[in-house]
Structure 1
Amino acid sequence: MSSIPQQTAIESPVVTDPAWCYRASAAALLVLVSGGQTLAADCALEPQGEGRVAAVLDGRSLRLEDGREIRLAGIERGGTDSARGRAALSAIAGSRDVTLHGDDDSPDRYGRQGAILFATGSEQSVQGELLRRGEALFSADIADKNCAAALAAAERAARDAKLGIWSDAMAIKNTESPGDILAAVGQFTVVEGRVLSVRQAGAITYLNFGRNWTRDFAATIPRRIIPAFEGAGLGPKSLENRRIRVRGIVSSRGGPRIELLRVGQIEVLGGK
Protein backbone atom coordinates (compact mmCIF):
# COMPACT_ATOMS: atom_id res chain seq x y z
CA MET A 1 0.00 0.00 0.00
CA SER A 2 1.32 3.48 0.16
CA SER A 3 3.41 5.90 2.25
CA ILE A 4 4.29 9.60 2.65
CA PRO A 5 3.83 12.96 4.56
CA GLN A 6 6.06 15.84 5.68
CA GLN A 7 5.86 19.46 6.57
CA THR A 8 7.21 21.98 4.11
CA ALA A 9 7.62 25.70 4.59
CA ILE A 10 7.09 28.06 1.68
CA GLU A 11 8.30 31.64 1.87
CA SER A 12 6.20 34.25 0.12
CA PRO A 13 8.37 37.04 -1.28
CA VAL A 14 6.69 40.38 -1.85
CA VAL A 15 6.02 40.62 -5.59
CA THR A 16 3.51 42.29 -7.81
CA ASP A 17 3.72 40.06 -10.90
CA PRO A 18 0.24 38.41 -11.15
CA ALA A 19 1.61 35.47 -13.16
CA TRP A 20 4.22 34.74 -10.50
CA CYS A 21 1.60 34.97 -7.78
CA TYR A 22 -0.63 32.48 -9.62
CA ARG A 23 2.23 29.99 -10.01
CA ALA A 24 3.26 30.37 -6.38
CA SER A 25 -0.30 29.83 -5.18
CA ALA A 26 -0.65 26.70 -7.30
CA ALA A 27 2.62 25.34 -5.94
CA ALA A 28 1.58 26.03 -2.38
CA LEU A 29 -1.60 24.03 -2.82
CA LEU A 30 0.43 20.95 -3.66
CA VAL A 31 2.26 20.88 -0.31
CA LEU A 32 1.61 18.06 2.15
CA VAL A 33 1.14 19.32 5.69
CA SER A 34 1.85 17.57 8.96
CA GLY A 35 -0.44 15.15 10.79
CA GLY A 36 -1.59 13.25 7.71
CA GLN A 37 -3.69 16.18 6.42
CA THR A 38 -3.40 17.29 2.82
CA LEU A 39 -4.40 20.36 0.92
CA ALA A 40 -7.12 20.23 -1.69
CA ALA A 41 -4.78 20.00 -4.68
CA ASP A 42 -3.85 16.40 -3.79
CA CYS A 43 -7.33 15.16 -4.61
CA ALA A 44 -8.67 18.05 -6.68
CA LEU A 45 -9.27 16.01 -9.81
CA GLU A 46 -11.43 17.26 -12.66
CA PRO A 47 -14.38 19.27 -11.31
CA GLN A 48 -17.66 17.37 -11.72
CA GLY A 49 -20.20 19.84 -10.37
CA GLU A 50 -21.45 21.01 -7.03
CA GLY A 51 -24.54 20.80 -4.85
CA ARG A 52 -25.91 20.78 -1.34
CA VAL A 53 -26.16 17.65 0.80
CA ALA A 54 -29.80 16.79 1.49
CA ALA A 55 -29.31 13.42 3.21
CA VAL A 56 -26.51 11.09 4.36
CA LEU A 57 -27.45 7.53 3.38
CA ASP A 58 -24.62 5.56 5.00
CA GLY A 59 -20.93 5.88 5.86
CA ARG A 60 -19.90 6.64 2.28
CA SER A 61 -23.06 7.63 0.39
CA LEU A 62 -25.19 10.77 0.35
CA ARG A 63 -27.91 12.45 -1.69
CA LEU A 64 -27.79 16.02 -2.97
CA GLU A 65 -30.77 18.36 -3.10
CA ASP A 66 -30.94 17.94 -6.90
CA GLY A 67 -31.50 14.19 -6.42
CA ARG A 68 -28.02 12.93 -7.35
CA GLU A 69 -26.73 10.09 -5.19
CA ILE A 70 -23.00 10.36 -4.51
CA ARG A 71 -20.73 7.47 -3.57
CA LEU A 72 -17.48 8.65 -1.96
CA ALA A 73 -14.57 7.30 -4.02
CA GLY A 74 -11.37 6.04 -2.40
CA ILE A 75 -12.81 4.77 0.88
CA GLU A 76 -14.68 1.80 2.36
CA ARG A 77 -16.38 1.24 5.70
CA GLY A 78 -15.55 -2.45 6.00
CA GLY A 79 -17.62 -4.29 8.61
CA THR A 80 -17.83 -1.31 10.96
CA ASP A 81 -21.06 -0.07 12.52
CA SER A 82 -23.28 1.52 9.85
CA ALA A 83 -24.95 4.00 12.23
CA ARG A 84 -21.55 5.22 13.37
CA GLY A 85 -20.41 5.61 9.76
CA ARG A 86 -23.48 7.64 8.88
CA ALA A 87 -23.00 9.85 11.94
CA ALA A 88 -19.34 10.47 11.05
CA LEU A 89 -20.17 11.48 7.48
CA SER A 90 -23.07 13.65 8.68
CA ALA A 91 -20.76 15.52 11.05
CA ILE A 92 -18.42 16.40 8.19
CA ALA A 93 -20.74 16.92 5.22
CA GLY A 94 -24.35 16.94 6.43
CA SER A 95 -26.39 19.89 5.02
CA ARG A 96 -23.17 21.37 3.55
CA ASP A 97 -22.51 22.85 0.11
CA VAL A 98 -20.04 20.55 -1.63
CA THR A 99 -17.98 20.34 -4.80
CA LEU A 100 -17.36 17.07 -6.64
CA HIS A 101 -14.12 15.97 -8.30
CA GLY A 102 -13.32 12.85 -10.28
CA ASP A 103 -12.27 11.29 -13.58
CA ASP A 104 -15.82 11.43 -14.91
CA ASP A 105 -19.36 11.85 -13.69
CA SER A 106 -20.81 8.64 -15.16
CA PRO A 107 -23.10 6.89 -12.67
CA ASP A 108 -22.43 3.29 -11.66
CA ARG A 109 -24.94 0.50 -12.25
CA TYR A 110 -26.89 1.64 -9.20
CA GLY A 111 -27.15 5.21 -10.50
CA ARG A 112 -24.59 6.62 -8.03
CA GLN A 113 -21.92 9.12 -9.03
CA GLY A 114 -18.49 8.35 -7.62
CA ALA A 115 -16.53 11.42 -6.55
CA ILE A 116 -13.95 12.97 -4.28
CA LEU A 117 -15.95 15.43 -2.19
CA PHE A 118 -15.00 18.78 -0.68
CA ALA A 119 -17.26 20.69 1.69
CA THR A 120 -17.25 24.39 0.86
CA GLY A 121 -14.61 26.24 2.88
CA SER A 122 -12.57 23.09 3.65
CA GLU A 123 -9.19 22.33 2.12
CA GLN A 124 -9.44 18.70 3.27
CA SER A 125 -11.52 16.30 1.22
CA VAL A 126 -14.41 14.62 3.01
CA GLN A 127 -12.69 11.28 2.37
CA GLY A 128 -9.42 12.54 3.85
CA GLU A 129 -11.19 13.80 6.94
CA LEU A 130 -13.01 10.50 7.48
CA LEU A 131 -9.72 8.61 7.10
CA ARG A 132 -7.88 11.02 9.40
CA ARG A 133 -10.49 10.42 12.10
CA GLY A 134 -10.28 6.63 11.68
CA GLU A 135 -13.85 6.47 10.37
CA ALA A 136 -13.05 4.82 7.02
CA LEU A 137 -10.57 2.53 5.27
CA PHE A 138 -8.56 3.54 2.20
CA SER A 139 -9.88 1.41 -0.68
CA ALA A 140 -6.91 1.86 -3.09
CA ASP A 141 -9.24 2.38 -6.08
CA ILE A 142 -8.03 5.92 -6.89
CA ALA A 143 -5.96 6.06 -10.09
CA ASP A 144 -4.40 9.48 -9.39
CA LYS A 145 -1.15 8.79 -7.52
CA ASN A 146 -1.05 12.06 -5.56
CA CYS A 147 -4.59 11.61 -4.36
CA ALA A 148 -4.06 7.94 -3.49
CA ALA A 149 -0.90 8.81 -1.52
CA ALA A 150 -2.72 11.58 0.36
CA LEU A 151 -5.61 9.30 1.35
CA ALA A 152 -3.24 6.48 2.34
CA ALA A 153 -1.27 8.93 4.51
CA ALA A 154 -4.46 10.11 6.22
CA GLU A 155 -5.40 6.51 7.04
CA ARG A 156 -1.90 5.77 8.30
CA ALA A 157 -2.00 8.74 10.69
CA ALA A 158 -5.25 7.45 12.24
CA ARG A 159 -3.91 3.91 12.38
CA ASP A 160 -0.72 5.01 14.15
CA ALA A 161 -2.80 7.00 16.65
CA LYS A 162 -5.29 4.12 17.07
CA LEU A 163 -8.25 6.37 16.30
CA GLY A 164 -11.76 5.20 15.45
CA ILE A 165 -11.69 1.89 13.58
CA TRP A 166 -8.04 1.40 14.54
CA SER A 167 -8.75 1.40 18.28
CA ASP A 168 -10.00 -2.18 17.79
CA ALA A 169 -7.18 -4.73 18.02
CA MET A 170 -9.03 -6.81 15.40
CA ALA A 171 -9.16 -4.00 12.81
CA ILE A 172 -6.33 -5.74 10.93
CA LYS A 173 -6.93 -9.46 10.55
CA ASN A 174 -4.03 -11.87 11.07
CA THR A 175 -3.48 -14.52 8.41
CA GLU A 176 -2.65 -16.99 11.18
CA SER A 177 -6.33 -16.84 12.16
CA PRO A 178 -8.16 -17.64 8.89
CA GLY A 179 -11.43 -18.11 10.75
CA ASP A 180 -11.44 -14.42 11.70
CA ILE A 181 -10.95 -13.48 8.05
CA LEU A 182 -13.64 -15.90 6.91
CA ALA A 183 -16.09 -14.21 9.28
CA ALA A 184 -15.68 -11.06 7.14
CA VAL A 185 -16.83 -12.62 3.84
CA GLY A 186 -18.38 -9.95 1.63
CA GLN A 187 -16.74 -7.12 3.60
CA PHE A 188 -13.80 -4.87 2.78
CA THR A 189 -11.05 -6.03 5.12
CA VAL A 190 -7.38 -5.37 5.90
CA VAL A 191 -5.28 -8.53 6.38
CA GLU A 192 -1.65 -8.91 7.42
CA GLY A 193 0.81 -11.81 7.42
CA ARG A 194 3.82 -13.51 5.85
CA VAL A 195 3.63 -14.97 2.33
CA LEU A 196 4.78 -18.59 2.64
CA SER A 197 4.67 -19.44 -1.06
CA VAL A 198 3.71 -18.10 -4.48
CA ARG A 199 2.05 -20.47 -6.94
CA GLN A 200 0.38 -20.11 -10.32
CA ALA A 201 -2.68 -22.15 -11.30
CA GLY A 202 -4.03 -21.39 -14.75
CA ALA A 203 -4.58 -17.63 -15.10
CA ILE A 204 -4.34 -16.98 -11.35
CA THR A 205 -1.28 -16.41 -9.16
CA TYR A 206 -1.75 -17.27 -5.47
CA LEU A 207 0.07 -15.59 -2.61
CA ASN A 208 -0.33 -18.34 0.01
CA PHE A 209 -0.18 -17.41 3.68
CA GLY A 210 -0.67 -20.99 4.86
CA ARG A 211 -0.11 -24.53 3.60
CA ASN A 212 -3.71 -25.75 3.52
CA TRP A 213 -5.57 -24.26 0.54
CA THR A 214 -8.96 -25.42 1.83
CA ARG A 215 -8.55 -23.50 5.09
CA ASP A 216 -5.78 -20.88 4.99
CA PHE A 217 -5.86 -17.35 3.60
CA ALA A 218 -4.55 -16.52 0.12
CA ALA A 219 -4.44 -13.36 -2.00
CA THR A 220 -4.98 -13.89 -5.72
CA ILE A 221 -3.73 -11.90 -8.71
CA PRO A 222 -5.21 -12.42 -12.21
CA ARG A 223 -2.64 -12.90 -14.97
CA ARG A 224 -3.67 -9.69 -16.76
CA ILE A 225 -2.78 -7.64 -13.68
CA ILE A 226 0.70 -9.12 -13.09
CA PRO A 227 2.53 -6.58 -15.35
CA ALA A 228 1.23 -3.69 -13.23
CA PHE A 229 2.58 -5.32 -10.05
CA GLU A 230 5.90 -6.09 -11.70
CA GLY A 231 6.15 -2.51 -12.96
CA ALA A 232 5.71 -1.29 -9.38
CA GLY A 233 8.46 -3.60 -8.10
CA LEU A 234 5.92 -5.98 -6.56
CA GLY A 235 6.35 -9.03 -8.78
CA PRO A 236 4.63 -11.94 -7.00
CA LYS A 237 7.82 -13.99 -6.58
CA SER A 238 9.52 -11.04 -4.87
CA LEU A 239 6.85 -11.19 -2.16
CA GLU A 240 7.66 -14.75 -1.09
CA ASN A 241 8.69 -14.86 2.59
CA ARG A 242 7.83 -11.18 2.96
CA ARG A 243 5.41 -9.79 5.53
CA ILE A 244 2.73 -7.81 3.71
CA ARG A 245 -0.61 -6.15 4.30
CA VAL A 246 -3.41 -6.58 1.76
CA ARG A 247 -6.91 -5.09 1.55
CA GLY A 248 -10.04 -5.90 -0.39
CA ILE A 249 -13.34 -7.76 -0.32
CA VAL A 250 -13.09 -11.16 1.37
CA SER A 251 -14.51 -14.14 -0.51
CA SER A 252 -14.52 -17.84 0.28
CA ARG A 253 -13.08 -20.29 -2.23
CA GLY A 254 -11.75 -23.10 -0.12
CA GLY A 255 -10.15 -20.80 2.44
CA PRO A 256 -10.70 -17.03 2.65
CA ARG A 257 -9.48 -15.03 -0.35
CA ILE A 258 -8.88 -11.42 -1.41
CA GLU A 259 -8.45 -10.66 -5.10
CA LEU A 260 -5.76 -8.08 -5.87
CA LEU A 261 -6.60 -5.90 -8.87
CA ARG A 262 -4.64 -2.74 -7.98
CA VAL A 263 -1.05 -2.23 -6.83
CA GLY A 264 -2.28 -0.09 -3.92
CA GLN A 265 -3.91 -3.14 -2.32
CA ILE A 266 -0.48 -4.41 -1.22
CA GLU A 267 1.84 -2.88 1.34
CA VAL A 268 5.20 -4.53 2.07
CA LEU A 269 5.83 -4.24 5.80
CA GLY A 270 9.42 -5.29 6.29
CA GLY A 271 12.37 -7.39 5.26
CA LYS A 272 12.47 -11.12 4.81
Structure 2
Amino acid sequence: MRRAAAISIAATLIGTLTPQSAAACEQLRMVKGGVVVSVTDGDTVVLDSDLVVRLIGTQAPKLPLGRDDFPTWPLAPEAKAALESLLLGQTVRLGYGGEEMDRYGRALAHVFVEMPQGDIWAQLHMVGSGLARVYSFPDNRKCLDALMAAEAQARAERLGIWADPYYSVRAADDLTTLADRAGQYELVEGRVLLSEKSGSRVYLNFGRYWKEDFTGVIEAPALRLFATAGLNPEDLAGALVRIRGWVDERDGPRIEITHPEQIEVLARP
Protein backbone atom coordinates (compact mmCIF):
# COMPACT_ATOMS: atom_id res chain seq x y z
CA MET A 1 0.00 0.00 0.00
CA ARG A 2 2.74 2.48 0.95
CA ARG A 3 4.74 1.65 -2.19
CA ALA A 4 1.67 2.32 -4.32
CA ALA A 5 1.14 5.63 -2.51
CA ALA A 6 4.75 6.60 -3.15
CA ILE A 7 4.44 5.82 -6.86
CA SER A 8 1.26 7.91 -6.99
CA ILE A 9 3.00 10.83 -5.27
CA ALA A 10 5.94 10.60 -7.64
CA ALA A 11 3.71 10.43 -10.71
CA THR A 12 1.88 13.56 -9.57
CA LEU A 13 5.21 15.27 -8.92
CA ILE A 14 6.59 14.57 -12.40
CA GLY A 15 3.30 15.51 -14.00
CA THR A 16 3.54 19.02 -12.54
CA LEU A 17 7.21 19.75 -13.33
CA THR A 18 7.85 23.05 -15.09
CA PRO A 19 11.01 24.79 -16.30
CA GLN A 20 10.30 27.69 -13.93
CA SER A 21 11.54 25.47 -11.09
CA ALA A 22 15.14 25.96 -12.20
CA ALA A 23 14.72 29.73 -12.50
CA ALA A 24 13.79 29.90 -8.80
CA CYS A 25 17.40 29.21 -7.78
CA GLU A 26 19.88 31.23 -9.84
CA GLN A 27 22.53 32.12 -7.23
CA LEU A 28 24.65 29.01 -7.67
CA ARG A 29 27.91 27.82 -9.21
CA MET A 30 26.62 25.35 -11.78
CA VAL A 31 28.61 22.32 -12.92
CA LYS A 32 27.92 19.16 -14.87
CA GLY A 33 26.92 16.30 -12.61
CA GLY A 34 26.29 13.05 -14.42
CA VAL A 35 23.71 10.30 -14.42
CA VAL A 36 21.98 9.29 -11.19
CA VAL A 37 22.62 5.57 -10.77
CA SER A 38 21.11 5.06 -7.32
CA VAL A 39 19.04 6.83 -4.69
CA THR A 40 20.00 6.26 -1.06
CA ASP A 41 17.04 8.00 0.54
CA GLY A 42 14.88 11.06 0.01
CA ASP A 43 17.80 13.51 0.04
CA THR A 44 20.85 11.56 -1.13
CA VAL A 45 21.79 10.18 -4.56
CA VAL A 46 24.82 8.56 -6.23
CA LEU A 47 26.09 9.55 -9.68
CA ASP A 48 27.78 7.39 -12.32
CA SER A 49 31.09 8.97 -11.23
CA ASP A 50 30.52 7.43 -7.75
CA LEU A 51 30.01 10.93 -6.37
CA VAL A 52 27.50 10.90 -3.51
CA VAL A 53 25.34 14.01 -3.53
CA ARG A 54 23.47 15.27 -0.48
CA LEU A 55 20.56 17.47 -1.60
CA ILE A 56 21.53 20.54 0.39
CA GLY A 57 18.77 22.67 1.89
CA THR A 58 16.43 19.78 2.60
CA GLN A 59 15.89 17.01 5.07
CA ALA A 60 13.75 14.08 3.94
CA PRO A 61 12.38 11.47 6.35
CA LYS A 62 15.23 9.21 7.40
CA LEU A 63 15.82 5.51 6.80
CA PRO A 64 17.97 3.33 9.11
CA LEU A 65 20.55 2.65 6.35
CA GLY A 66 22.25 -0.03 8.41
CA ARG A 67 22.18 1.86 11.71
CA ASP A 68 21.20 -0.32 14.65
CA ASP A 69 18.17 0.75 16.67
CA PHE A 70 17.43 3.61 14.26
CA PRO A 71 13.70 3.74 13.48
CA THR A 72 12.37 4.40 10.00
CA TRP A 73 10.76 7.83 10.06
CA PRO A 74 7.20 8.03 8.74
CA LEU A 75 7.07 8.43 4.94
CA ALA A 76 10.79 7.69 4.51
CA PRO A 77 10.19 4.91 1.94
CA GLU A 78 7.75 7.17 0.08
CA ALA A 79 10.29 10.00 -0.06
CA LYS A 80 12.96 7.67 -1.44
CA ALA A 81 10.57 6.27 -4.04
CA ALA A 82 9.54 9.76 -5.17
CA LEU A 83 13.15 10.87 -5.58
CA GLU A 84 13.91 7.68 -7.50
CA SER A 85 11.02 8.35 -9.87
CA LEU A 86 12.29 11.87 -10.42
CA LEU A 87 16.06 11.33 -10.73
CA LEU A 88 17.03 7.69 -11.26
CA GLY A 89 18.66 7.27 -14.66
CA GLN A 90 18.44 11.00 -15.34
CA THR A 91 21.28 13.35 -16.26
CA VAL A 92 21.64 16.09 -13.65
CA ARG A 93 23.53 19.32 -13.10
CA LEU A 94 24.80 20.37 -9.68
CA GLY A 95 24.54 23.84 -8.18
CA TYR A 96 26.84 24.85 -5.34
CA GLY A 97 25.94 27.76 -3.07
CA GLY A 98 28.27 27.40 -0.10
CA GLU A 99 30.37 24.65 1.45
CA GLU A 100 30.72 22.06 -1.31
CA MET A 101 31.76 18.90 0.53
CA ASP A 102 30.92 17.47 3.95
CA ARG A 103 33.11 15.43 6.28
CA TYR A 104 31.78 12.22 4.74
CA GLY A 105 32.99 13.20 1.27
CA ARG A 106 29.49 13.90 -0.04
CA ALA A 107 28.87 16.78 -2.43
CA LEU A 108 26.54 19.40 -0.93
CA ALA A 109 24.61 20.58 -3.95
CA HIS A 110 21.32 21.62 -5.42
CA VAL A 111 20.32 19.08 -8.06
CA PHE A 112 18.72 19.94 -11.39
CA VAL A 113 17.44 17.19 -13.65
CA GLU A 114 17.63 17.86 -17.37
CA MET A 115 14.20 17.27 -18.90
CA PRO A 116 12.74 18.19 -22.31
CA GLN A 117 10.79 21.13 -20.88
CA GLY A 118 13.82 22.50 -19.02
CA ASP A 119 15.89 21.84 -15.90
CA ILE A 120 13.88 20.87 -12.81
CA TRP A 121 15.08 21.70 -9.30
CA ALA A 122 14.81 18.47 -7.30
CA GLN A 123 14.86 20.12 -3.87
CA LEU A 124 11.97 22.42 -4.71
CA HIS A 125 9.77 19.57 -5.81
CA MET A 126 10.55 17.31 -2.88
CA VAL A 127 9.76 20.14 -0.45
CA GLY A 128 6.74 21.26 -2.46
CA SER A 129 5.26 17.77 -2.47
CA GLY A 130 5.59 17.48 1.30
CA LEU A 131 8.34 14.85 1.21
CA ALA A 132 11.12 16.98 2.72
CA ARG A 133 11.58 19.91 5.08
CA VAL A 134 13.83 22.92 4.65
CA TYR A 135 17.07 22.20 6.50
CA SER A 136 19.76 24.85 6.22
CA PHE A 137 23.29 25.46 7.45
CA PRO A 138 25.22 28.66 8.26
CA ASP A 139 27.71 27.92 5.45
CA ASN A 140 25.05 26.96 2.86
CA ARG A 141 22.17 29.44 2.67
CA LYS A 142 21.45 30.07 -1.00
CA CYS A 143 17.95 29.79 -2.48
CA LEU A 144 16.21 29.24 0.85
CA ASP A 145 13.40 31.75 0.20
CA ALA A 146 11.94 29.62 -2.61
CA LEU A 147 12.24 26.45 -0.54
CA MET A 148 10.58 28.10 2.47
CA ALA A 149 7.68 29.26 0.30
CA ALA A 150 7.24 25.75 -1.12
CA GLU A 151 7.32 24.25 2.38
CA ALA A 152 4.72 26.73 3.63
CA GLN A 153 2.39 25.82 0.77
CA ALA A 154 2.84 22.08 1.34
CA ARG A 155 2.22 22.54 5.06
CA ALA A 156 -0.93 24.59 4.42
CA GLU A 157 -2.24 21.86 2.11
CA ARG A 158 -1.18 19.10 4.56
CA LEU A 159 0.79 17.28 1.89
CA GLY A 160 3.01 14.32 2.71
CA ILE A 161 4.77 14.69 6.05
CA TRP A 162 2.58 17.62 7.06
CA ALA A 163 -0.40 15.29 7.54
CA ASP A 164 1.60 13.15 9.99
CA PRO A 165 1.83 14.17 13.68
CA TYR A 166 5.47 13.08 13.76
CA TYR A 167 6.35 16.24 11.82
CA SER A 168 3.88 18.64 13.43
CA VAL A 169 4.99 22.16 14.27
CA ARG A 170 5.46 22.10 18.04
CA ALA A 171 4.11 24.73 20.42
CA ALA A 172 6.83 26.50 22.40
CA ASP A 173 4.81 26.12 25.59
CA ASP A 174 4.32 22.34 25.16
CA LEU A 175 7.34 21.50 27.27
CA THR A 176 6.51 17.82 27.70
CA THR A 177 6.44 17.20 23.96
CA LEU A 178 9.58 19.26 23.39
CA ALA A 179 11.43 17.34 26.10
CA ASP A 180 10.35 14.08 24.47
CA ARG A 181 11.69 15.36 21.11
CA ALA A 182 15.18 16.14 22.42
CA GLY A 183 17.71 15.03 19.82
CA GLN A 184 15.25 15.58 16.96
CA TYR A 185 15.00 18.28 14.30
CA GLU A 186 11.83 20.24 14.96
CA LEU A 187 9.85 23.32 14.01
CA VAL A 188 8.74 25.19 17.13
CA GLU A 189 6.30 28.09 17.14
CA GLY A 190 5.51 30.62 19.85
CA ARG A 191 5.76 34.21 21.04
CA VAL A 192 9.10 35.52 22.31
CA LEU A 193 8.52 36.84 25.81
CA LEU A 194 11.99 38.33 26.20
CA SER A 195 15.03 38.68 23.96
CA GLU A 196 18.19 39.63 25.79
CA LYS A 197 21.93 39.54 25.38
CA SER A 198 24.06 37.95 28.06
CA GLY A 199 27.79 37.87 27.44
CA SER A 200 28.37 36.78 23.85
CA ARG A 201 24.93 35.19 23.42
CA VAL A 202 21.39 36.30 22.78
CA TYR A 203 18.60 34.31 24.42
CA LEU A 204 15.07 34.19 23.04
CA ASN A 205 12.97 33.28 26.05
CA PHE A 206 9.49 31.89 25.41
CA GLY A 207 8.48 31.69 29.07
CA ARG A 208 9.08 33.36 32.40
CA TYR A 209 11.20 30.55 33.84
CA TRP A 210 14.29 30.29 31.67
CA LYS A 211 15.55 27.20 33.52
CA GLU A 212 12.41 25.31 32.48
CA ASP A 213 10.83 26.98 29.46
CA PHE A 214 11.77 26.74 25.79
CA THR A 215 14.66 28.97 24.67
CA GLY A 216 16.36 29.88 21.42
CA VAL A 217 20.10 30.43 21.86
CA ILE A 218 22.15 32.52 19.42
CA GLU A 219 25.92 32.27 19.86
CA ALA A 220 28.50 34.89 18.79
CA PRO A 221 29.27 33.44 15.30
CA ALA A 222 25.57 33.45 14.48
CA LEU A 223 25.17 36.99 15.79
CA ARG A 224 27.76 38.09 13.22
CA LEU A 225 25.63 36.55 10.47
CA PHE A 226 22.58 38.37 11.82
CA ALA A 227 24.53 41.65 11.82
CA THR A 228 25.71 41.11 8.25
CA ALA A 229 22.09 40.55 7.23
CA GLY A 230 21.07 43.77 9.00
CA LEU A 231 19.04 41.89 11.61
CA ASN A 232 19.01 42.29 15.37
CA PRO A 233 17.51 39.32 17.25
CA GLU A 234 17.05 41.52 20.32
CA ASP A 235 14.23 43.19 18.39
CA LEU A 236 12.20 39.96 18.47
CA ALA A 237 10.69 40.50 21.92
CA GLY A 238 6.93 40.11 21.58
CA ALA A 239 7.12 38.64 18.09
CA LEU A 240 5.37 35.42 17.07
CA VAL A 241 8.07 33.27 15.47
CA ARG A 242 8.76 29.79 14.16
CA ILE A 243 12.21 28.35 14.89
CA ARG A 244 13.66 25.25 13.24
CA GLY A 245 16.59 23.23 14.50
CA TRP A 246 17.75 20.40 16.72
CA VAL A 247 16.16 20.29 20.16
CA ASP A 248 18.41 19.69 23.13
CA GLU A 249 17.70 19.73 26.85
CA ARG A 250 19.67 22.19 28.98
CA ASP A 251 17.77 24.31 31.47
CA GLY A 252 14.63 23.25 29.64
CA PRO A 253 14.26 22.44 25.94
CA ARG A 254 16.13 24.71 23.57
CA ILE A 255 17.34 25.12 20.00
CA GLU A 256 20.67 26.65 19.03
CA ILE A 257 20.19 29.15 16.20
CA THR A 258 23.29 29.27 13.99
CA HIS A 259 21.97 31.51 11.17
CA PRO A 260 19.06 33.89 10.56
CA GLU A 261 17.07 31.58 8.27
CA GLN A 262 16.24 29.34 11.21
CA ILE A 263 13.80 32.00 12.43
CA GLU A 264 10.59 32.88 10.61
CA VAL A 265 8.83 35.96 11.97
CA LEU A 266 5.09 35.30 11.73
CA ALA A 267 3.81 38.47 13.44
CA ARG A 268 5.30 41.53 15.10
CA PRO A 269 3.89 43.05 18.33
Query: Above 0.5 in TM-score?
Result: yes
The residue type paired with residue 225 of structure 2 is A
Residue in structure 2 matched with residue 52 of structure 1 by the alignment:
35
Residue identity opposite 1:125 in structure 2: W
Pick aligned residue for 2:81 from 68, 73, 87: 87
After the TM superposition, which residues 30-69 of structure 1 pair with which residues of structure 2 at under 5 Å, given as runs? 38-44=20-26, 45-69=28-52
Residues 35-184 of structure 1: matches in 2 within 5 Å? Answer: 38-44=20-26, 45-77=28-60, 80-81=73-74, 82-103=76-97, 106-121=100-115, 122-141=118-137, 142-144=140-142, 147-168=143-164, 171-184=168-181
Distance across 2 between alignment mates of 1:258 and 1:159: 21
1:9-24 matches, within 5 Å, as none
Q: Does structure 1 conserve the Cα–Cα contact (< 8 Å) formed by 2:189 and 2:242?
A: yes
Q: Distance in 2 between matches of 1:37 and 1:182?
A: 43
- Cα-to-partner distance string for 1:168-205 (whole Å, 9 max, x where unaligned): 35510111112222333232211100111123333221
RMSD: 2.5
Q: Is the 8 A contact 1:53 1:98 kept in 2?
A: yes
Provide the TM-score with structure 1 as the length reference. Answer: 0.78
Are 2:233 and 1:253 aligned? no
- Residue correspondences, number: 236
Task: State how far apart, in whole Å, the 2-side matches of 1:247 and 1:104 are.
Answer: 20
Give the distance between the partners of 1:37 and 1:139, measured in 2 at CA: 24
Q: Which moved more, 1:151-160 or 1:76-85?
A: 76-85
1:228 aligns with 2:218: no
| Pair 1:135–1:251, CA change in 2 (3 A) | same
Residue aligning to 1:15? none
Contact 1:100 1:118 survives alignment (8 Å): yes
Q: Which residue of 1 aligns with 2:5?
A: none
Could you tell me how far apart the structure 2 residues matched to 1:161 and 1:37 are? 23
Distance 1:133 1:180 in 2: 26
Name the CA distance, whole Å, in 2 between partners of 1:182 and 1:265: 20
Partners of 1:242 and 1:105 in 2: CA distance: 32
Q: Please, what TM-score do these two structures have when normalized by structure 2?
A: 0.79
SS at match of 1:241: coil
Write the letter of the residue equivalent to 1:55.
S
Displacement of 1:160 after TM fit?
Answer: 1.7
Task: Give the C-alpha shift of residue 238 in structure 1.
Answer: 1.3
Percent identity of paired positions between Structure 1 and Structure 2: 34
Q: 1:36 to 1:75 in 2, by over 3 A?
A: farther
Q: Could you tell me whether the CA contact under 8 Å between 1:117 and 1:126 is conserved in 2?
A: yes
